[in-house]
A and B are shown apart, each in its own frame.
Chain A
Amino acid sequence: MQDTKAIIPEPASSLLSFVQSNTGQNISSCYQCGKCSAGCPTAYAMDIGPRQVMRAIQLGLKDEILGSSAIWLCVSCQTCSVRCPREIDIARVIESLRLLSQAEGTPPAQREIAVFHRAFLQQVRIFGRLYEVGLGIMYNLRSGHFFNNMNRLPSLFAKKKLRLIPQRTKGVSDARRIAARVKKLESELK
């Protein structure tokens, strides 16, 4: 694949080599067969599908990728990675792009999904475990969709689905310590 590299302009090859070294995947070897997009459950809702993401990396279209909804709508189902004839772990590539977009401060094209993930981790930092009711409340507050899922509450209550009191674990101090040490490590790595 050396030949391909020679014809790609400098900025393109820098994104390409960043993602390749970050994920250990040979993205240059993608020959655009489209099998990844064909089997992707959420491709229909993405602005550009997995195949186009791969091409965009080859071409160095960084802004298009980091600002895409694809990197947020990917649910890491791994279908693409299992099926790619070039044995590229596409799910892993998309994961690294999602992390890169956050590191670069790109506004997420699917803000609600990013808000949901953050609200989830906040529960883990507070309680050491997921507190589903707390997640629901935090998500609604932070996303601005205050009444999201409210119509479901009566049936959830009737079936005793909701655990109103958070689970207690002494592990919470471990969870907090781990979160703090990850933060410290990541700021050192920057």
Chain B
Amino acid sequence: MAKVGSNTGNQTAERVYSYYPGCSQLATAEEYDVSARLVSRKLGIELRELEDWICCGASAAHSTDHWLSLALPAHTLKQAEEAGLPLAVPCAMCFSRLKFALHELENKETRDIVSHIIEKELSTAVAVEPMLKILADESLPIPVVKPLSGLKVACYYGCLLVRPPEVVKFDNAENPQTMERLMQRLGAEPINWGLKTACCGAGVAFPRLDVVLKLSYRLLSLIKASGADCVAVACPMCHANLDMYQKDMKAKFGEKLDLPVLYFTQLMGLALGFSPKELLLNKHITNPLPMLRKKELI
């Protein structure tokens, strides 16, 4: 758990984490990193970015090279262990790779081999937590200044945050509720829908866009039919798949979706009073601003 400052008993006791942004969050998904940092600071959470961190290897290492897929995240786990703080991770893919590595490292033989590769003695004594869990912590007060009244949100978790449960140890694999409860605290109205942990097509958009279009359209059309105004996500891959290709979906399936897809941290940021500009709401391919204006939320 987070290190709690000396002022225990105070509700806003200081929470300090090491922070692993992950590659995408400093590039195409910059708005996730920016909003996560803004919101954290506002809530009294200190994020200390690991120095000179490297890529987790994502699905590329995992699909093609067993030892590399453990050694790359192990490098980060070691950094976190040395920093002596729990590790906060916004990206669901990074989170999943780090958790899988931790899980595998519980096996002594595996741990010895990976320690040999990275030339450092590994332990499994490091806590890795998704940004969603940290920011949705119900013991943490959220000073909402602009409730998201009347905003119907479809919370979408995707695969990696919640599966497999024995590895990620977070919420529920089939019907998670963390994001819904958070949205309610922001004054928004989470909708009920059936595919919130179904797959969006993950990382195959380059080689097989057809697969991503089919799977992501299945999600968006159900969300649309369920009456949501927007989608909340906690993963840069889910975001890209749902946000970037809505025009392609219109061409292929004939349905105009126009469904804004926002990071949950951006919705928190709005409720906390940050401006659309600060939250980089202008970076999405499907523009959320007209909808937010209509709802009088900006």
Contacts and interface: CB of A to CB of B under 8 A. Distances in A.
A85 interface: no
B84 interface: no
Interface residues of B, number: 55
Interface residues of A, number: 60
Contacts of B58: 120, 130
A182 B68 contact: yes
A182 B117 contact: yes
A170 B53 CA distance: 8
Nearest to A170: B52
B163 A78 contact: yes
Contacts of A143: 207
Given A78-B163, A117-B63, A121-B57, A152 B202 contact: no
Contact of A41 (B67, B75, B201): B201
* SS of B interface (majority): helix
A149 B27 CA distance: 17
Contacts of A175: 54-55, 72, 75
B67 A172 contact: no
A109 B15 CA distance: 49
A8 interface: no
B207 A116 contact: yes
Contact of A185 (B67, B210, B284): B67
Contact of A77 (B53, B62, B159, B207): B159
A45 B72 CA distance: 31
Contacts of A102: 64
Closest 4 CB pairs of A and B: A112-B207, A120-B60, A130-B23, A78-B163
Interface of A: 41-42, 44-45, 73, 75-79, 81-82, 89, 91, 95, 98-99, 102, 110, 112-118, 120-121, 124, 128-130, 132, 136, 139, 143, 148-149, 152, 155-156, 159-163, 167, 169-172, 174-175, 177-179, 181-182, 185-186
